[in-house]
């Protein structure tokens, strides 16, 4: 496997895009690695240079050196079975604490003898002051040593239940020994990061819903997938990732201006894969007969639709502003734009005439729509004829009603069969000895999908199964 | 089933030919896989269908029986296959399958190890995800099941992407020649924790792992065992709620003509069979959706993890 900039590489390279997960998802940052790129963690500015040439999945910690803070890989002891976990994943605890961790585990199996009846929170429990900690730092103490000192000087730590001890340790670790987990930016991690920090940008499309769209539309190598992606390019990128440099994903749009697909650049898609992402106005894809007429009508739809939805859009904007700080698009974190330009994949070219002709002649293999701002029925009515016969399709929407109307009309017009509206429900569990239960927080809503299969528009026929059955 | 050759691609022009696998669709919950054979017939409650009538028609066509009943002929996909395959074991369905593939980060070119093969429902979707250049190696200790699965992959045209082997994975683990070779490992076994040390060995750095188990006790043991070699351990449950859509007429409580919403579809009002003698109470017709009454309440828990990265 080559170490070059391919989507399958497990080692980073200069110019590569990464997802940095700081303190178990407290902060999620997309960054492009370059020697000049810097990231602020807590109050320290760290160069991202040490991340280049490292394996994805590596956890880094902030160390202090005479010439400033720097990121270095945290020790991971593979054979250490004593690691304590919070059951929510991302539980890279430091191995300096092995002894304490082992104790904590012993204490938590089945019988917990301590409880919190004697605990009084009066702010005097900690005898170390802020100045003491600063002094330790100046003498080169590492984050873990500071945490141990805080525990040793805590009057209440010993009285805490092991569960609260873990929580205490985690809280201090986040503050004094932040961890940076370097993740591979793929459909899963990108979708989860946006859903957590900036969901309006991706139309509140949850990762399980995205996964269903890809299966329901039978996204597979060598197919030509028609998409309407008003979720920032997440859908286009996810489809391209599944095509692996074969077939085409046609990112289509109404009117003159293509929809944003910024998110595509966050994926580390190889040039081969990027070439397979094409962008085309829908009017170019329609049959040549009177395209003008159809297009006008579509533009009208879009306009009236967006008027209807102004209030909904306004409320989504607020969400995005309030949570914008947590996540950064690549480029924002990048202090060296030159590198970014050099590496920026050339996704989204206009398809050549021969390709459009072949789509016209054969039809697309499937259709996926994630367009919160467009009317589902008019969209599907216009795009379904562009699909090959027996092609599956999947339409995402945050609201049920537009899909219900669309499904009903498709049934009346006998354009498709196997129609189904489904809503995924996803629940995560905490799994720990004697403490297994569903997580206290869950996403209560991942959107709706209308799926089905296009059938040949057969000439009207009089007989029906019902008459036969009678 | 997959367009490994561009000529196999679904297209307006692709016509059903002798030997093709087609999915005969009667209703959403009533489908059947049929291999087209000149001279054969399909018999169901709608009558007798001659395969020879199907040949030369495009996929997606409506075809008729001697009695005038009809079915649709669809091109097979992994989703349709999951709905029609022979159940030799419990199988995974679309919601779990889709989530597994996304969360394992399976993409074209990946090498995936799976055990047990069971009825091959998941395997079929894994094969689609790794195509055209990757491979799925699937293991089941049940000789007959492995044989039937092989026959199925032959029939669905996936045999170049899938290798089925007979092996006791809980007892022996995955073969040593896969050491450090797998991008992902998937287990659907009664005692998955027994195979976890082997899974850690065959996975590449940062490789992904998933285990499916119906019972929480299995999950508990799996997670405890995973902590040694794995990180990012997360357990999920995924279900699908489906909706039914109807157009219903309801009587408005208002007197006719006072409706300021103006949403009365006049043509709906006259289509009654005469029972609407109360002409002053107009009926409003609207499309409504509600969840289907019955659904699968549990399939299993999915536990994911990632091999600890030694760098
Ligand atoms: C529930 S089925 C798997 C279903 C499959 N995931 C699907 O979607 O079709 C479990 C399979 O594991 C196999 N099995 C059980 N113990 C095994 C072992 N120790 N080694 C290999 N296979 C085993 C069984 O024979 C059975 O076919």
Asked if B233's CB is within 8 angstroms of A89's CB, the reply is yes
Residue B159, classified by CB atoms within 10 Å of its CB into exposed (0-12), middle (13-18) or buried (19+), is: middle
A-chain residues within 8 Å CB-CB of B292? none
Ligand 1 pocket check for B168: Cβ under 6 Å: yes
Separation between Cα atoms, residue B28 and residue B128, nearest integer Å: 23
B-chain residues within 8 Å CB-CB of A76? 308-310
**Which pLDDT belongs to residue A230?**
97
Arithmetic mean of pLDDT, A334-355: 63
Residues B54-73 have pLDDT tens digits of 999 999 999 999 999 999 99
Separation between Cα atoms, residue A171 and residue A143, nearest integer Å: 12
> Is residue A184 within 8 Å of residue A377, measured between CB atoms?
no
Q: Could you tell me the distance, in angstroms and rounded to a whole number, from the CA of residue B83 to the centre of ligand 1?
A: 19
pLDDT at A91 over 60: no
Binning pLDDT at 50, 70 and 90, where does residue A309 land?
Answer: very low
**Which pLDDT belongs to residue A296?**
42
Nearest CA in chain B to A425: B239
Nearest CA in chain A to B106: A242
Q: Could you tell me the distance, in angstroms and rounded to a whole number, from the CA of residue B118 to the centre of ligand 1?
A: 5
Binning pLDDT at 50, 70 and 90, where does residue A332 land?
Answer: very low
Q: Is the peptide bond before B132 cis (omega within 30 degrees of 0)?
A: yes
pLDDT at B249 over 90: no
pLDDT at A391 over 60: yes
Q: Which of B46, B62, B239 sits opposite A468 (nearest CB)?
A: B46
**Which pLDDT belongs to residue A460?**
38
Could you tell me the strand order of the sheet in which B62-64 lies?
A: B30-35, B21-27, B70-74, B62-64
Q: How many residues does chain A have?
A: 470
Q: Which of B90, B114, B116, B301 to mutate to test the pocket of ligand 1 (most atoms within 8 A of CB)?
A: B116
pLDDT at A101 over 50: no
pLDDT at A75 over 50: yes
User: What is chain A's mean pLDDT, rounded?
Assistant: 78
Q: Domain coordinates of chain B in residue numbers?
A: 6-76, 80-239+298-307
Q: Whose C-alpha lies nearest to ligand 1, atom 2?
A: B118
**Which pLDDT belongs to residue A361?**
92
Q: Which two tokens stand for residue B99?
A: 């989530």
Q: From the alpha carbon of B168, which atom of ligand 1 is closest?
A: 20
Q: Which of A10, A89, A458 sits opposite B62 (nearest CB)?
A: A458
Percent of chain A at pLDDT above 70?
Answer: 73
pLDDT at B113 over 70: yes
**Which pLDDT belongs to residue A462?**
35
Ligand 1 pocket check for B169: Cβ under 6 Å: yes
Q: Which residues contact A310 (CB under 8 A, 6 or more apart)?
A: none
**Which pLDDT belongs to residue B51?**
96
Percent of chain B at pLDDT above 70?
Answer: 89
Ligand 1 pocket check for B50: Cβ under 6 Å: no
Adjacent-strand bridge partners of B290: B244
**Which pLDDT belongs to residue A165?**
83
Please give the helix or strand (H or E) that residue A303 lies within, else none.
helix A291-308
Binning pLDDT at 50, 70 and 90, where does residue A326 land?
Answer: very low
**Which pLDDT belongs to residue A97?**
34
**Which pLDDT belongs to residue A33?**
95
Q: Which residues contact B47 (CB under 8 A, 6 or more apart)?
A: A468, B65, B66, B67, B68, B69
- A78 vs A443: which has the higher pLDDT: A443
Arithmetic mean of pLDDT, B141-160: 97
Angle formed at CA B239 by CA B236 and CA B243, multiple of 5 degrees = 155
Pick one of 3.30.70.260, 3.40.50.620, 3.40.50.150, 3.40.50.10540 as the CATH number of B80-239+298-307.
Answer: 3.40.50.150
Asked if B25's CB is within 8 angstroms of A425's CB, the reply is no
Residues A451-461 have pLDDT tens digits of 999 999 754 33
**Which pLDDT belongs to residue A7?**
56
Nearest CA in chain B to A442: B236
Binning pLDDT at 50, 70 and 90, where does residue A123 land?
Answer: low
Residues B223-246 have pLDDT tens digits of 999 999 999 999 999 999 999 999
Residues B64-98 have pLDDT tens digits of 999 999 999 999 999 999 999 999 999 999 999 99
**Which pLDDT belongs to residue A153?**
82
Q: Which of B75, B79, B129 sits opposite A390 (nearest CB)?
A: B75
Q: Which residues of B are annotated as a binding site for S-adenosyl-L-methionine?
A: 119-122, 140, 168, 188
**Best CA proximity match to B184, nearest among B122, B227, B238:** B122
Residues B170-194 have pLDDT tens digits of 999 999 999 999 999 999 999 999 9
Binning pLDDT at 50, 70 and 90, where does residue A205 land?
Answer: very high
- A328 vs A248: which has the higher pLDDT: A248
Q: Which CATH class is domain B6-76?
A: alpha beta
B-chain residues within 8 Å CB-CB of A216? 79, 94, 98
B-chain residues within 8 Å CB-CB of A239? none
Binning pLDDT at 50, 70 and 90, where does residue A6 land?
Answer: low
**Which pLDDT belongs to residue B235?**
98
> Is residue A316 within 8 Å of residue A203, measured between CB atoms?
no
**Which pLDDT belongs to residue A199?**
94
Question: Which of A18-32, A168-182, A191-205, A208-222 comes out lowest in average pLDDT?
Answer: A168-182
Beta-strand pair A437-438/A416-430: antiparallel
pLDDT at A2 over 60: no
pTM of the model: 0.85
Q: Could you tell me the distance, in angstroms and rounded to a whole number, from the CA of residue B139 to the centre of ligand 1?
A: 8
At residue A277, φ and ψ (nearest 5 deg) are -100, 115
Arithmetic mean of pLDDT, A132-150: 80
**Which pLDDT belongs to residue A121?**
61
Structure-derived torsion over alpha carbons of residues A203, A207, A210, A215, reported in degrees to the nearest 10: -170
> Is residue B26 within 8 Å of residue B10, measured between CB atoms?
no
Q: Which two tokens stand for residue B100?
A: 């597994």
**Which pLDDT belongs to residue A264?**
96
Binning pLDDT at 50, 70 and 90, where does residue B49 land?
Answer: very high
**Which pLDDT belongs to residue A99?**
35
Nearest CA in chain A to B63: A458
Separation between Cα atoms, residue B94 and residue B296, nearest integer Å: 12
Q: From the alpha carbon of B90, which atom of ligand 1 is closest?
A: 1
Rounded alpha-carbon distances, angstroms, from residue B12 to A387, B54, B75: 8, 16, 12
Nearest CA in chain A to B248: A408
- A119 vs A3: which has the higher pLDDT: A119
Residues A278-292 have pLDDT tens digits of 999 999 999 876 444
Separation between Cα atoms, residue B198 and residue A19, nearest integer Å: 29
Q: From the alpha carbon of B171, which atom of ligand 1 is closest?
A: 19
Q: Which residues contact B37 (CB under 8 A, 6 or more apart)?
A: B18, B19, B51
The tokens 């701002």 sit on which residue? A373
Residues B13-41 have pLDDT tens digits of 889 999 999 999 999 889 999 999 999 99
Q: Which of A55, A85, A421 sits opposite B242 (nearest CB)?
A: A421
Separation between Cα atoms, residue B277 and residue B283, nearest integer Å: 12
Question: Under DSSP, is residue A220 helix (H, G, I), strand (E, B) or coil?
Answer: coil
> Is residue B166 within 8 Å of residue B140, measured between CB atoms?
yes
Q: What is the 3-class SS of A107-171, one letter each residue?
A: HHCCCCCCCCCCCCCCCCCECCCHHHHHHHHHCCCCHHHHHHHHHHCECCHHHCCHHHHHHHHHH
Partner B contacted by A6 (CB < 8 A) = no
CB pairs below 8 Å between A and B: how many?
Answer: 274
CB atoms within 10 A of CB B19: 10
- A253 vs A102: which has the higher pLDDT: A253
Please give the helix or strand (H or E) that residue B220 lies within, else none.
helix B216-226
Question: Which of A300-304, B3-7, B212-216 comes out lowest in average pLDDT?
Answer: A300-304
Asked if A76's CB is within 8 angstroms of B105's CB, the reply is no
Asked if B109's CB is within 8 angstroms of A428's CB, the reply is no
Partner B contacted by A218 (CB < 8 A) = yes
Percent of chain A at pLDDT above 90?
Answer: 54
Residues of chain A with CATH 3.40.50.150: 199-454
CATH superfamily, domain at A199-454: Vaccinia Virus protein VP39 (3.40.50.150)
């Amino acid at each position: 496997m080559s170490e070059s900039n391919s989507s399958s590489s497990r080692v980073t390279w200069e110019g590569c895009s990464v997802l940095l997960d700081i303190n178990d998802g407290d902060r999620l940052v997309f960054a492009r690695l370059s020697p000049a790129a810097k990231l602020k963690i807590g109050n320290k500015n760290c160069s991202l240079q040490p991340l280049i040439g490292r394996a994805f999945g590596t956890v880094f910690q902030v160390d202090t050196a005479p010439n400033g803070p720097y990121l270095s890989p945290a020790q991971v002891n593979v054979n250490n079975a004593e690691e304590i976990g919070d059951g929510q994943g991302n539980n890279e605890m430091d191995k300096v604490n092995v002894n304490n961790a082992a104790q904590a585990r012993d204490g938590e199996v089945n019988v917990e003898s301590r409880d919190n009846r004697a605990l009084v929170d009066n702010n005097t429990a900690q005898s170390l002051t802020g100045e003491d900690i600063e002094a330790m730092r100046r003498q080169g103490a590492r984050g873990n040593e500071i945490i141990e000192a805080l525990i040793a000087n805590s009057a209440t730590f010993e009285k805490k239940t092991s569960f609260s001890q873990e929580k205490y340790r985690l809280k201090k670790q986040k503050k004094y020994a932040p961890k940076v987990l370097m993740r591979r930016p793929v459909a899963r991690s990108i979708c989860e990061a946006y859903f957590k920090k900036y969901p309006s940008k991706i139309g509140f499309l949850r990762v399980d819903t995205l996964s269903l769209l890809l299966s329901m539309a039978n996204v597979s190598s060598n197919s030509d997938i028609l998409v309407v992606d008003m979720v920032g390019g997440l859908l286009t990128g996810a489809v391209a990732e599944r095509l692996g440099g074969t077939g085409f994903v046609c990112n289509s749009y109404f009117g003159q201006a293509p929809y944003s697909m910024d998110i595509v650049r966050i994926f580390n898609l190889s040039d081969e894969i990027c070439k397979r992402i094409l962008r085309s106005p829908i009017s170019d894809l329609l049959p040549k007969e009177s395209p003008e007429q159809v297009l006008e009508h579509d533009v009208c739809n879009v306009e009236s639709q967006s008027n209807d939805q102004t209030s909904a859009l306004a409320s989504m904007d607020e969400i995005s502003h309030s949570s914008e700080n947590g996540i950064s698009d690549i480029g924002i974190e990048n202090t060296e734009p030159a590198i970014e330009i050099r590496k920026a994949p050339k996704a989204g070219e206009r398809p050549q005439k021969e390709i459009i002709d072949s789509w016209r002649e054969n039809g697309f293999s499937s259709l996926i729509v994630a367009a919160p701002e467009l009317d589902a029925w008019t969209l599907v009515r216009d795009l379904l004829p562009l699909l090959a016969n027996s092609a599956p399709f999947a339409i995402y929407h945050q609201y049920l009603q537009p899909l219900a109307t669309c499904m009903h009309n498709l049934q009346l017009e006998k354009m498709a069969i196997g129609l189904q509206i489904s809503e995924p429900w996803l629940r995560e569990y905490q799994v720990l000895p004697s403490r297994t239960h569903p997580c206290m927080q869950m996403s209560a809503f991942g959107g709706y999908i209308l799926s089905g299969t296009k059938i040949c528009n057969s000439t009207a026929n009089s007989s029906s199964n019902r008459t036969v059955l009678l | 089933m997959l367009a490994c050759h561009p000529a196999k691609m679904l297209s307006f022009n692709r016509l059903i030919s002798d030997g093709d696998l087609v999915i005969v669709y009667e209703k959403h919950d009533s489908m059947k896989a049929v291999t087209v054979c000149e001279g054969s017939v399909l018999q169901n409650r709608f009558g007798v269908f001659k395969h020879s009538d199907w040949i030369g028609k495009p996929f997606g066509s409506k075809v008729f029986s001697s009695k005038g009943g009809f079915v649709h002929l669809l091109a097979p996909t992994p989703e349709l296959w999951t709905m029609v395959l022979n159940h030799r074991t419990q199988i995974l369905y679309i919601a779990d399958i889709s989530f597994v593939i996304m969360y394992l980060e399976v993409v074209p070119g990946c090498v995936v190890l799976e055990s047990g093969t069971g009825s091959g429902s998941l395997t079929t979707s894994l094969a689609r995800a790794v195509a055209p250049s990757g491979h799925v190696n699937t293991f089941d200790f049940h000789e007959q099941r492995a044989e039937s699965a092989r026959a199925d992959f032959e029939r669905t045209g996936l045999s170049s992407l899938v290798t089925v082997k007979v092996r006791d994975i809980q007892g022996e683990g995955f073969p040593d020649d896969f050491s450090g070779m797998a991008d992902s490992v998937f287990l659907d076994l009664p005692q998955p924790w027994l195979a976890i040390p082997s899974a850690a060995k065959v996975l590449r750095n940062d490789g992904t792992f998933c285990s499916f188990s119906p019972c929480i006790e299995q999950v508990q043991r799996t997670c405890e065992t995973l902590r040694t070699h794995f990180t990012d351990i997360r357990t999920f449950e995924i279900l699908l709620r489906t909706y039914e859509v109807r157009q219903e007429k309801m009587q408005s409580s208002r007197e006719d003509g006072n409706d300021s919403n103006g949403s009365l579809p006049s043509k709906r009002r006259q289509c009654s069979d005469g029972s609407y003698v109360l002409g002053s109470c107009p009926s409003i017709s609207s499309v409504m959706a509600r969840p289907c009454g019955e659904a699968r309440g549990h399939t299993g828990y999915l536990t994911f993890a990632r091999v600890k990265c030694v760098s």
